[in-house]
Structure 1
């Protein structure tokens, strides 16, 4: 098995240099370390990725910006331990980082790495004292400014205070077999710390999902609480025809299917549809049908629905604490999203019966992708009315940032 810090470095390099998705890179990298080291490696990788702006600030004070990327990434690893991991003594963080330089072909830079890290130790009080929100919370100024403009300074500060926290994990009971209390017992019996949170279970300790008997037996699935609440807001009932237009990975599909509704789950890619199908089989939710479908193109073979969930692709600014690299997106790169989102909503609405309801949702905090899309749709479709519109901000013990708007078709 590989050294934990070396594994963390390799994953960080893959993310920052090669553009790998953090969750996929971490999942792959963790197969190379012992079970006892997995939490430590995850903490280092996600920590460095989410705190890159802060780490750059400290590293750049004492290092030429033209230094090799590997040297910079190694310094990130050491600096993160110094600045954010209280349980790692500064001396250990420096020693282990300097020694790691040999393993990655950076022996020539060991004295430089040692000197820079010691200077960061001498200056680390700057982090607590800075009034620069970008440096303090490691969030790009353009994103902070966007949130301030849209939601105000107080709400923006509230968001920033939680985006670097570890996100809670929620297990949704499969009520075909268990309720939240019975599911909690299953976790506790397996030695997993957890608590009942509303009508689901919040898991408070690390665990290996595939090793849990209750998971193999189809007693639960993992879904963020905000996503779960969104699916519940559509209020599906037994026997209804429900379309989940952009369904993968399937959490909201499973939540709606528990109502007894006949749920049709679609995605653009076959492999993602297969994942939904396999999970539905594990959960024994046989009222789910899956198929590949392009949400942008009208499908004349689509069944007319009583209810539709339209959870569109988005910038993801509500789930930054789960995928920290999202915060570094250039706002110019997401300019095309609102039109795509509108087109998917508009196309999906054509499958709805009169008096049916459609729920538009995103996991982002950006009014251009949320309220503005809904506003444009209602202006162009006078046969729909808005019933409810909700923005959920991420909280320390609750769900992620989310938006959903419930609309009803009143006539043709």
Structure 2
């Protein structure tokens, strides 16, 4: 790594350019090779800088507003944003300012703005560090905040924003012995059976990774498979399976599992995870609507807005604007209907989304029950270890929100419902 961290900082600016300017998710940009030329340390630093700047964006922009008469071009503004974030986290001013000035001075279009970058960041270094903690916790953009306040109330949304602003922990799903995994990794065993680490280094170097004793999966994301409660000898279908956390949970039960995902690359990751953990499942690259057959149990983790995962993916509110919600809701409806045709009489299905929007959860189930009189909600399935009865909703689903579980460090947002087909 260079003395002033140019490769990592330049790449972090590029990530913000793609997210803020082009509407791309960070995972898309990284998947397209944006960080491939960096060494592992710079790659991790670039991703961390971009992620934490996005998490703090409102504070960063409020500080910059005090020193700018008008906003410069996106790339220059993003250099100022990352520099401001670093300064307010205690990085040495001379290193941050010199790095950002150097990066902009070498830009073929914006090199003439190096003086602006120098002047603004020096002013932030002089006064912004003291002002930083006095600023409010960043709010979600209005396109998302408004429907969430309407659904859950202002107080709940402030709680969600508090959770989003905090650094997210690392959760592990044990293959079998949660106590042993917690002891080996130094984590805490959560009431639902996941293991939580406040901080973690390189995941692949942690005890139990190579031997496949666990896999990374948010505690909330591990609950749907526990609600389905697959049994040995059952045939189970995992739809939209990648990256495979739920597939491995189902396979660990001894059930005969078929995992389906439309993405070959993501399904390859599922296959690799199964090999590492020594678990067995059939993997099928296919469109959900092309799947046939009859199964005892189905887990449908449908594509959604992913608004429940913002604490792990703070790029989402800046890359999206909500315009795709209608198409996603329609797709979920079609997927529910098709999945129910694959369910044997008397079989059960868990429908879930990592969304905070009722239209992608509670409303979907209410409308599915109206369309399918032979299907009912199975409330008893929600009574799994660690699940709070207060999470159960009026129509009989489970509503998980980031403002809940504060005593354990919060969780991602999820909606989960267990459906039973008439015998």
Question: TM-score with structure 1 length normalisation?
Answer: 0.86
**Matched residue of 1:408: which SS?**
strand
C-alpha distance in 1, partners of 2:232/2:64? 58
- 2:406 is the counterpart of 1:394: no
Q: Could you tell me whether the CA contact under 8 Å between 1:384 and 1:410 is conserved in 2?
A: yes
1:70 maps to 2:68:
no
1:142 maps to 143
Name 2:347's counterpart in structure 1.
356
Identify the structure with bigger relative contact order (alpha carbons < 8 Å, sequence gap 6+).
Answer: 2
1:219 aligns with 2:213: yes
2:59–2:135 Cα contact (<8 Å) kept: no
Q: Specify which of 239, 250, 263 is matched with residue 245 of structure 1.
A: 239
- Counterpart mapping for 1:269-288 below 5 A: 269-286=263-280, 288=281
Q: 253-262 or 325-334: which moved more?
A: 325-334
Q: Distance in 2 between matches of 1:66 and 1:204?
A: 37
**Aligned equivalent of 2:84, options 63, 79, 83:** 79
Among 10, 13, 16, the residue aligned to 1:6: 10
From the superposition, tell whether residues 265 and 77 of structure 1 become closer, same or farther in structure 2 (CA, over 3 Å).
same
Q: 1:108 aligns with which of 91, 109, 112?
A: 112
- Distance in 2, Cα, partners of 1:108 & 1:161: 39
**How has the CA–CA distance of structure 1 residues 66 and 165 changed in structure 2, closer, same or farther, with 3 Å as cutoff?**
closer
Structure 2 partner of 1:347: 338
Where structure 2 has 5 or more consecutive residues not aligned to the other structure, the ranges are 380-396
Q: Secondary structure at the match of 2:167?
A: coil
* Contact 2:190–2:196 (8 Å) recurs in 1: yes
TM-score (structure 2 length as normaliser): 0.84
Instruction: Rate the CA distance shift 1:281–1:371 in 2: closer, same or farther, 3 A.
Output: same
Deviations 1:262-311 (A, max 9, x none): 1111112233222222221222212x11112322x264xx3311111111
Cα RMSD, aligned residues only: 2.7
Task: Report 1:1-400 matches (<5 A).
Answer: 1=1, 3=5, 4-23=8-27, 25=29, 32-33=37-38, 40-63=45-68, 65=70, 67-83=72-88, 85=89, 87-90=90-93, 92-105=95-108, 106-120=110-124, 122=127, 136-175=137-176, 179-187=177-185, 193-198=186-191, 199-212=193-206, 214-286=208-280, 288-295=281-288, 297=289, 299=291, 302-328=292-318, 329-388=320-379, 389-394=397-402, 397-400=409-412
Counterpart of 1:147 in 2: which secondary structure? helix
User: How far apart, CA to CA, are the structure 2 residues paired with 1:282 and 1:130?
Assistant: 45
Q: 1:145 to 1:14 in 2, by over 3 A?
A: closer
Tell me which of 401, 408, 422 is aligned to 1:410: 422
Change (3 A) 1:38 1:337: closer
- Greater alpha carbon shift after TM alignment, 323-332 vs 203-212: 203-212
Indicate the larger mover: 195-204 or 255-264. Answer: 195-204
For 1:20 and 1:208, the matched residues in 2 are separated by 26
For residues 9 and 254 of structure 2, what CA distance do their matches in structure 1 show? 48
Q: Provide the C-alpha distance between the structure 1 equivalents of 2:152 and 2:18, rounded to a whole number of angstroms.
A: 34
Hey, what's the Cα distance between the residues in 2 that align with 1:41 and 1:103? 19
Task: Describe the shift of the 1:259–1:46 C-alpha distance in structure 2 as closer, same or farther (beyond 3 A).
Answer: same
Which residue does 1:190 correspond to in 2? none
Offset of residue 35 of structure 1: 5.3
Equivalenced residue count is 393
- State the Cα deviation string for residues 100-153 of structure 1 (Å, max 9, x = none): 43344544222212222344454676665567xxxx414202211111100011
Question: Displacement, 1:384?
Answer: 0.9
Helix, strand or coil: the match of 2:287?
coil
Write the distance in 1 (CA, Å) between the matches of 2:135 and 2:49.
Answer: 23
CA separation of 1:290 and 1:155: change in aligned 2, threshold 3 A = same
